[in-house]
Amino acid sequence: RITGTVESKGLLAIKSTCRIEGDIITKSLNVESGSSFNGRCKVGGDHDPEAARSLVANRLKQSAAAESGAKSTAAGAAN
């Protein structure tokens, strides 16, 4: 089980027993049946570490905004 961002400059092979919770950035991807992936995936093109950092930063901002909105909604419902 992997939690977090996975980066590969070549082929990333996700085996049937693998579980990934996070983003994948790779040049090439092979996913076996039975594996599990929950996140965003960028495949192909040039591997750009700065793009990877930007993708992760944006995802964190979206998660924080969604969590903040959920707390505001819950607080409003309690009033």
Residue-wise over 42-75: b if at least 16 C-beta within 10 A, else e?
beeeeeeeeebeebbeeeeeeeeeeeeeeeeeee
DSSP state of 38: E
Q: Tell me which H or E stretch contains 75.
A: helix 49-78
Q: What confidence tens digit (pLDDT) does each residue in 13-27 have?
A: 999 999 999 999 999
Strand, coil or helix: what is 42? Answer: strand
pLDDT score of 49: 65
pLDDT tens per residue across span 28-68: 999 999 999 999 999 987 656 676 677 777 777 887 888 77
Grouping H, G, I as helix, E, B as strand and the rest as coil, residue 7 is strand
Total-model pTM: 0.56
Q: Report the number of secondary-structure helices (H) and strands (E) in the chain.
A: 1, 6
Q: Is the pLDDT of residue 77 over 60?
A: no
